[in-house]
Amino acid sequence: MSEPIDLALGILDHQVVDSEGFRCGKVDDLELGGIQEGKPVVETIIVGRRNRRRVHVPWDEVEKVDSAVWLKRPARELRLRRGDDRLRPLLEWIPGAHAR
Amino acid sequence: MKRIFEIALGILAAIGGFVDIGDIVFNVAAGAMFQYRLLWVVVIGVGAIITYSEMCGRVTVASGRAVFDAVRERLGFRVGLVALVAAQLVNLMTLAAEIGGIALALQLLAGLPFRALLVLAVLALAVVLWAMPFSWIERIFGYVGLAMLAFAVAAIKLDPGWGDVASGFVPSVPSGDRALYAYFVVGLIGAATVPYEVYFYSSGAMEEQWTPKDLGTNKANAIIGYSLGGFLSFALMITAGALFYPLGITPESLGSVALGVDVPLGTIGLLCALVGILFAVSGAAIDTAFSGGYTLAQFFGWEWGKYRRPVDAPRFTLTWIVMVVLGFLVVVTGVDPIKVTEYSVIFSVVALPLTYVPILLVANDRAYMGRYRNGRVANVFGIAYLVVILAIAVAAIPLMLVTNMGQG
């Protein structure tokens, strides 16, 4: 990750995608860990806007950044996509819910 | 055959976008009131939607992100939220109107009580949305909707003065009610560029799993699909101009619109037109229901798509289910579906820039698009049509008030 990125345009509000290709929220905020060599360093990306549901994802978990922020691990391991997990039972009983 | 199916997405996006219940009536009313003098407006609308659909199809192919991802990114959460609320209101109002339209078309075909057909319509819609694969949906509803080409045959058979028709393609200012004319200009461009078309189209590109190899397919879909939609708009307007304008009648119901085919072509033509209307209106219902799910999911970053199993995209799936239920509840109150779409078209015009500006910005972003960035042609057309879109966005509400929603 040595390429410079514009934080506002290049990361903030970007799609977050886990290692299995599932979308798991947007980059709602960033936490900076001070300045290194005159440049701010991102320490954590924050997914979720409401206080209790905000998830902090350490920058080390980020695989790459392009039109999305790609994570190194599945959402579950980072406690992401819990909204989908909560609502899934509402659909599971319907025939065809597990079919493509 | 495979080639023909490759443009199914464009056909459905266009059929559902151009010739949904409100547009059918809008185009026919335009023909009935101004004969052929508004044909040029359809050309502008078609050009705008081709330009922007091609652009956002390309954005999706190049970046894997659809229109509302771009809206969220470029406008941020707060302003983006305004765009989202506006988009969802239009999605919902249009969906409600289409559900009503399905029931109206069924009523003309089968003649059962309207409310019973409303229930039937919403159940059938839910089953199709849930169970039918995306590629079937776009093929069946897009292509059967083309039965509306009966209106083109009717237009020819009515033998309008072709010289008058041709001069309708040249912009002109009428001597009569100019505010009403301007209202129709805004309404027709708005109807051609309703944002749910690009939400559906760009997300559809993802559903179809297009890759950069499919950029030609994207261009073909945008150009052929929307041109066909525009052609149908011409046909509706010319039919109405030839039949209703000389009599001084403005049809306000789907039944009288269908008369436009019945008079020159008889029962077979009428049947074709009604089946076409039924599938076009159903296609529009599908477009808007899914668009509701797409926009919300893309704004908040949820997993989405028909290509996912419902249990893998629960929030997306529940969103479109809730949309369908709400749409049903709106229309079951007895509001006039046609009035509802007219309102939704005018309101969507006001919010148009919130969708189209972010698309243009993202399509020019090198980091996002790489070598698939907008070229000069896309930008020249993109900026020109953006000026048109901004102008009609500003004019929409005052014109609606001055003309009492086109009632004069």
List, for residues A72-94, the tens digit of each pLDDT value. Answer: 999 999 999 999 999 999 999 99
pTM of the predicted model as reported, rounded to 2 decimal places: 0.93
β-pairing verdict for A62-65 and A39-47: unpaired
pLDDT for the residue numbered B38: 96
Dist CA B259 CA B56 (whole Å): 38
Dist CA B115 CA B334 (whole Å): 9
Given the structure tokens 């403005």, which residue do they identify? B250
Using CB atoms, which residue from A16, A67, A87 is nearest to B301? A16
| B1 pLDDT higher than 70 | no
B393 vs B250, residue with greater confidence:
B393
- What is the amino acid identity at position B351? A
Question: What is the arithmetic mean of pLDDT over B242-261?
Answer: 87
CB contact under 8 A, A97 and B310: yes
Interface of A with B (CB under 8 A): 9-10, 12-16, 22-26, 28, 47, 49, 66-68, 81, 83-84, 87-88, 90-92, 94, 96-100
Dist CA B41 CA B386 (whole Å): 15
* ipTM score for this prediction: 0.94
Dist CA B406 CA B408 (whole Å): 5
Enter the DSSP assignment of B310.
Answer: G
Dist CA B229 CA B77 (whole Å): 34
B353 vs A41, residue with greater confidence:
B353
A84, B315 Cβ separation under 8 angstroms = yes
pLDDT for the residue numbered B26: 83
| B16 pLDDT higher than 80 | no
Report the 3 state secondary structure along chain A. Answer: CCCCCCHHHHCCCCEEECCCCCEEEEEEEEEEEEEECCEEEEEEEEECCCHHHCEEEEHHHEEEECCEEEECCCHHHHCCCHHHHHHCHHHHCCCCCCCC
Sheet hosting strand A68-71, strand order edge to edge: A55-58, A39-47, A23-36, A15-17, A68-71, A62-65
What is the full DSSP assignment across B209-256? T--GGGHHHHHHIIIIIHHHHHHHHHHHHHHHHHHTTTTT----SHHH
CB contact under 8 A, A88 and B311: yes
Percent of all residues in chain B with a pLDDT value above 90, rounded to a whole number: 71
pLDDT-derived band of residue B302, with 50, 70 and 90 as boundaries? very high
Which of B139, B147, B123, B111 has its CA nearest to residue B277?
A: B147
What is the full DSSP assignment across B318-379? HHHHHHHHHHHHHHHTT--HHHHHHHHHHHHHHHHHHHHHHHHHHHT-HHHHGGGS--HHHH
Using CB atoms, which residue from B133, B301, B311 is nearest to A23? B301
CA B329-B287-B226 angle, to 5 degrees, is 140
Enter the DSSP assignment of B175.
Answer: S
B54, B226 Cβ separation under 8 angstroms = no
CB contact under 8 A, B65 and A15: yes
Count residue pairs from A and B with Cβ separation < 8 A: 82
Which of B371, B350, B372, B374 has its CA nearest to residue B360?
A: B374
Question: What is the arithmetic mean of pLDDT over B284-292?
Answer: 95
Dist CA B331 CA B337 (whole Å): 7
List, for residues A52-76, the tens digit of each pLDDT value. Answer: 889 999 999 999 998 899 999 999 9
Distance of CA B176 to the CA centre of its chain: 29
| B106 pLDDT higher than 60 | yes
Distance from CA of B300 to the nearest CA of A (A): 6
pLDDT for the residue numbered A2: 53
Given the structure tokens 């406008």, which residue do they identify? B75
Dist CA B250 CA B51 (whole Å): 32
Q: Using a CB-CB distance cutoff of 8 angstroms, which residues of chain A are in contact with residue B135?
A: none
B6, B218 Cβ separation under 8 angstroms = no
Q: Using a CB-CB distance cutoff of 8 angstroms, which residues of chain A are in contact with residue B133?
A: 100
Distance from CA of A11 to the nearest CA of B (A): 9
Reported as half-sphere exposure (CB side, CA atoms, 13 A), residue B313 has a value of 28
Dist CA A58 CA A49 (whole Å): 17
| B56 pLDDT higher than 90 | yes
Beta bridge partners, A42, equal: A32
Dist CA B33 CA A30 (whole Å): 57
Dist CA B309 CA A96 (whole Å): 8
CB contact under 8 A, B301 and A66: no
CB contact under 8 A, A23 and B314: no
Question: What is the arithmetic mean of pLDDT over B395-407?
Answer: 83
Query: CA nearest B80 in A: which residue?
Result: A13
